[in-house]
Amino acid sequence: MDADVVSHRMTAVGLTTLVTETAENRSIANCGFEIEGTMSIAKIKEILGDRETGFMKSYRFRSKAVGHTFIEIQDFDFDAQFSEITCPVQPDGHEAWLLNEIGQRGS
């Protein structure tokens, strides 16, 4: 393994991914945020991209499974992980709409 590659041993949850994931059933986490009022996508990225408190703090967010190890993706593109959507239904239907949207699009 390349000396510059950072790797971490898989936990039981990570190993479960290896057993259950298929081409049709990917183990990809989707996070949805419902913003009441306004907040720019730039501000959301700033909060979540913080290496001390945001998603980028977790090596799993920027890793891939290789064998029984998580390997950090050296050129991980944080910005590419975002897509902005607008929900066309009333607030009490947002969660159901989002779950259906993820089920249809896969992300």
**Whether 13 contacts 68, CB under 8 Å:** no
Q: How many residues does the chain have?
A: 107
Tens digits of per-residue pLDDT, 48-98? 999 899 888 887 788 887 877 888 888 989 998 888 888 899 989 988 998
Residue 49 lies in a domain: yes
Residue 18 lies in a domain: yes
Alpha-carbon Rg for the chain in angstroms: 16
Cβ partners under 8 Å of residue 20, min gap 6: 27
Residue 2 lies in a domain: no
Specify the pTM. 0.61
pLDDT tier at 107, thresholds 50, 70, 90: low
Residue 13 identity: V
**Whether 87 contacts 97, CB under 8 Å:** yes
Distance CA 49, CA 92 (A): 29
Give the other-Cβ count within 10 Å of 10's Cβ. 18
The total number of structural domains that make up the chain: 1
Residue 1 lies in a domain: no
Domain of residue 74: give its range.
7-105
Residue 60 lies in a domain: yes
